């Protein structure tokens, strides 16, 4: 009986000490505004369509957006990122820090972020949005070798 009690006590202490890994944004970079325009470009200077790339790295899930169009207020205030995770649902939003306050647009060649704290082998759903696109939910399994390249036009709501 004493052993059984100690076993249950150990299990309770282990459960109390085990922490849920915090999902957080640990890195982000962007190329900024390449040129200001009053009309949106549907393609970048190199003719590429906009893509969303989900890639496994040792640091976490790298989320890269290519060829986005944002308000040119990013030239002053930059780009901000919001991240939340509820169970297996990851909500990620990139936006102009100062808001879309100017009457001009900027192509952003590349925005890249790393989300740390995801569990290997677990299935997640990414709800991604940026100033120029809201994507339908994207399901993926976070695993080594993950390199999912998506055309944002096909996922845009």
Number of domains observed in the structure of the chain: 1
Residue 105 — left, alpha, or beta (φ > 0 → left; ψ -120 to 50 → alpha)? Answer: beta
pLDDT per position as a tens digit, 45-84: 445 689 999 999 999 999 999 999 999 999 999 999 999 9
Model confidence at 39, pLDDT cuts 50, 70, 90, reads low
- Per-residue pLDDT at 41 exceeds 60: no
Residue 2 lies in a domain: no
Domain residue limits at 128: 25-155
Q: What is the pTM of this model?
A: 0.80
Residue 143 lies in a domain: yes
Cα torsion at 63, 69, 70, 76 (round to 10°)? 90
Domain of 75: which CATH number? 2.60.40
């Amino acid at each position: 009986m004493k052993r059984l009690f100690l076993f249950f006590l150990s299990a309770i202490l282990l459960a109390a000490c085990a922490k849920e890994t915090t999902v957080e944004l640990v890195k982000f970079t962007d190329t900024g505004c390449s040129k200001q325009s009053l009309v949106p470009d549907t393609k970048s200077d190199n003719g590429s369509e906009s893509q969303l790339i989900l890639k496994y790295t040792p640091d976490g899930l790298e989320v890269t957006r290519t060829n986005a169009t944002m308000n040119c207020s990013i030239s002053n205030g930059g780009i901000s990122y919001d991240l939340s995770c509820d169970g297996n649902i990851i909500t990620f939003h990139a936006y102009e820090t100062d808001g879309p306050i100017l009457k001009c647009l900027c192509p952003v060649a590349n925005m890249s972020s790393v989300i740390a704290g995801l569990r290997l082998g677990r299935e997640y759903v990414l709800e991604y949005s940026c100033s120029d696109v809201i994507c339908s939910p994207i399901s993926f399994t976070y695993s080594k070798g993950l390199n999912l390249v998506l055309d944002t036009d096909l996922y845009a709501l």
